[in-house]
Every structure is written in structure tokens, then in C-alpha cells.
């Protein structure tokens, strides 16, 4: 069953579902340097055996497929709420499941679960804890969870940027990650949490949101009003705003 929240966010992402997703935000999520930064950070922690890998909120699964190719021996399962995303994966050996993470019960456990830029789609601490508990239930006893979230280190500015996303109706609901992330993991039952690497900074402006969400001048003005006191990860400009997201990589078990 698809939750009301998932339907809400899917509707607002309708312009970037399927093949358009990897082109969004200047190809950030298909950028080979970003992919290699992820693989280089993760690979030293992986056991030398054939791994069962689960990629949650995977879109087409490109990051998982690149990791699979680099390892040479592994099995990949991808899960996403969008069938259009999943249809872009053409690997006949990859297992694909179209479902809401809040309903995920695959009936098996994995050596490695990966997630990138997706936990924020669950826009409350309570929902994020619930999702992380579901993920942990799918990990083997020695399994690893690697997450690369959209991250704003200053909690106050994180809250304001999230409020802007949640208030401007055309944009999907979000709660971006920040320095309180470890406490969310602990509350979800993980007992080990470590930063192991990072990707490139993602810089966005109102023009990126106009292209993705079809914002109007009124929408941009509302965003400017919410962000007016930000000075670091968000700044108001004459025409709109600038946003800066970090993409650290965290290992948990």
C-alpha cells in the first residue's frame, strides 16, 4: 500500500520520474566522480565474498549497479516507490520491487543495504526512525547500512530549509539530515555510526526548483521569506535563493 505521503511526494516529482531523474540538478546523481567517491568510501568495509545488496529508494538503481560492477561478485535488489524509476533498470539479474519503504518486508536479510539522498523524503524524526527500523530488520547480523544523505550541518538552517520545502506546496515534503542524525540512528536500534567519506557539494538555486517543480514568483518569494535569516547553507539572493547541501557517507550497523 502506498502511503499518502509517498503519493504526495511522487506527484511533486512527476517531472523527474524515470529517465529524467538522472538528469536532474546538473546530473548530480549520475555524476561518475560522485559514484566513484561512494564506491571508494564503501569498498574497504565490505567482506571479500559474494554479497546480497539491497538498494532502497533506488530510482533506477544506477549507484547499486556501478557498485555491483566494481565488486565483480554480488547480487542486487532495488526498491523504489516509482515504477517509472524501476523500469529504467535494464539488468535482467537485478531484482526490482515497487513499494513504499514504510511497507517494505522482503522476507530476507542482506549483507549490505545502501541509500542515497532519500531519508529526507520522510519528513519527521518519527518517520525516519520507523524507516531505519525497517531497514535494520533487513540486515544480516553482521550486515552494513551505508547512507549518503542530503545534509546541512547547522541544525537551525536545516530546519529552515526543510520548512521551506514543506511550506512551498509544489515541492515535496522533506526533513534533511543534520548533526542530530546519529541520535535518530540510535533510536532506530543501530549501535554503531561512523562517517566514512563524502560526495561533492550540491549547490541549488531557485532556477533548479523552477525547472523541477514549476515554481512561480509567489513560491520563490515565500521561500525567500522563510530563508531570510540563513547565512551559510542557504542564502537569499535578489532573484531567489542559494542552497548548499553536503553529501557525507555514513556507515551503521
pLDDT of residue 3: 86
Tens of pLDDT, residues 161-184: 999 999 999 999 999 999 999 999
Alpha carbon distance 240, 252 (integer Å): 37
Question: Do the Cβ atoms of 122 and 131 come closer than 8 Å?
Answer: yes
* CATH class label, 4-153+174-203+247-252: alpha beta
Name which of 159, 100, 160, 112 is nearest 140 in CA terms: 112
Share of the chain above pLDDT 90, in %: 97
The H-or-E segment that residue 210 falls in is helix 206-213
pLDDT of residue 251: 98
Per-residue buried b or exposed e for 175-205, using 16+ beta carbons within 10 Å of the residue's own CB: bbbbeebeebbeebebeebeeebbbeebebe
Which region, left, alpha or beta, applies to residue 177 given φ > 0 means left and ψ of -120 to 50 means alpha? beta
How long, in residues, is the chain? 253
Alpha carbon distance 224, 227 (integer Å): 5
The answer, yes or no, to whether residue 1 has pLDDT greater than 70, is no
Name which of 117, 16, 6 is nearest 58 in CA terms: 117
The answer, yes or no, to whether residue 26 has pLDDT greater than 70, is yes
Name which of 128, 235, 139 is nearest 178 in CA terms: 128
Tens of pLDDT, residues 213-227: 999 999 999 999 999
The rounded mean pLDDT for the chain is: 97
pLDDT of residue 221: 98
For residues 41-55, give the mean pLDDT. 97
pTM: 0.97
Q: List all residues 6 or more positions away from 247 whose beta carbon is below 8 Å from its beta carbon.
A: 34, 116, 117, 148, 149, 150, 151, 198, 199, 200, 201, 202
The answer, yes or no, to whether residue 228 has pLDDT greater than 90, is yes
The answer, yes or no, to whether residue 2 has pLDDT greater than 80, is no
The residue with cell 555524476 is: 31
For residues 49-67, give the mean pLDDT. 98
Question: Do the Cβ atoms of 157 and 234 come closer than 8 Å?
Answer: yes
pLDDT of residue 48: 92
The answer, yes or no, to whether residue 212 has pLDDT greater than 90, is yes
Amino acid at each position: 500500500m502506498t502511503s499518502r505521503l509517498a503519493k504526495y511526494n511522487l506527484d511533486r516529482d512527476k517531472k523527474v520520474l524515470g529517465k529524467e531523474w538522472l538528469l536532474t540538478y546538473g546530473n548530480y546523481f549520475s555524476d561518475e566522480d560522485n559514484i566513484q567517491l561512494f564506491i571508494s568510501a564503501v569498498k574497504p568495509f565490505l567482506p571479500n565474498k559474494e554479497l546480497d545488496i539491497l538498494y532502497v529508494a533506488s530510482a533506477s538503481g544506477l549507484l547499486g549497479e556501478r557498485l555491483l560492477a566494481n565488486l565483480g561478485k554480488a547480487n542486487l535488489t532495488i526498491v523504489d516507490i516509482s515504477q517509472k524509476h524501476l523500469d529504467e533498470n535494464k539488468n535482467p539479474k537485478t531484482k526490482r520491487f515497487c513499494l513504499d519503504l514504510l511497507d517494505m518486508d522482503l522476507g530476507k536479510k542482506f549483507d549490505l543495504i545502501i541509500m542515497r539522498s532519500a531519508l529526507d523524503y520522510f519528513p519527521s524524526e518519527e518517520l525516519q526512525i520507523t524507516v531505519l527500523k525497517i531497514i535494520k530488520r533487513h540486515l544480516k547480523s553482521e550486515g552494513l547500512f551505508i547512507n549518503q544523505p542530503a545534509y546541512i550541518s547547522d541544525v537551525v538552517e536545516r530546519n529552515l530549509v526543510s520548512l521551506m520545502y514543506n511550506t512551498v506546496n509544489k515541492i515535496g515534503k522533506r526533513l534533511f539530515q543534520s548533526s542530530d542524525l546519529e541520535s535518530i540512528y540510535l533510536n532506530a536500534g543501530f549501535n554503531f555510526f561512523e562517517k566514512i567519506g563524502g560526495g561533492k557539494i550540491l549547490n541549488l538555486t531557485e532556477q533548479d526548483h523552477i525547472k523541477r517543480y514549476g515554481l512561480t514568483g509567489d513560491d520563490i518569494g515565500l521561500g525567500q521569506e522563510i530563508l531570510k535569516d540563513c547565512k551559510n547553507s542557504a542564502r537569499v539572493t535578489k532573484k531567489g535563493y542559494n542552497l548548499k547541501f553536503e553529501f557525507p557517507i555514513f556507515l551503521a550497523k
